[in-house]
Amino acid sequence: MKFSVAIILSTVALAGCQTVETYTPMEVALNKAAGADVLAQKCGYLDYRAVQQVYSDKNKNMSEAKSLGATKSDYSAAYDRVNGRVTTAMIFAGTNAACNELLTQLAKSNSEANIDLPD
């Protein structure tokens, strides 16, 4: 069952990896920000500090998207896309599995951007 959640959510492309759809850097940042909203709204088991971190990451991604020219309608489209896919994952795999996968994807994608590999 976890495998099916990973397949469904991987199409969200939160990590910016090329999947079925190719996203621009602006869309990747918007998907991450929208994923944070969906996570905070639909996955009620997060504690206060976790929600603070989720929204801190969202603000960082929104700033990046704004600097790349994102508008409110771009964010709305990203939110609808992410919310729809997470809702589908919840239906097929269950809320806990979908929320766990979304949390993992967001944490991974927001931390990988800060890793600097040596030459």
User: Would residue 79 count as lying in a domain?
Assistant: yes
Token pair of 118 as six digits: 């040596």
pTM score: 0.75
User: Would residue 36 count as lying in a domain?
Assistant: yes
pLDDT at 46 exceeding the cut of 90: no
Domain that holds residue 27: 2-13+23-107
SS3 state at 10: helix
> Cα–Cα distance between 19 and 46 in angstroms, integer?
28
**Residue 15 — very low, low, confident or very high, per pLDDT cuts 50/70/90?**
very low
Cα 16 from chain centre? 10
User: Would residue 118 count as lying in a domain?
Assistant: no
Q: Return the half-sphere exposure (C-beta side, CA atoms, 13 A cut-off) of residue 102.
A: 33
pLDDT single digits (tens) 28-45: 999 999 999 999 889 887
Give 11: exposed, middle or buried? Use CB within 10 Å, 0-12, 13-18, 19+: middle
> Cα–Cα distance between 11 and 18 in angstroms, integer?
9
| The total number of structural domains that make up the chain | 1
pLDDT single digits (tens) 51-72: 888 899 999 999 999 999 999 9
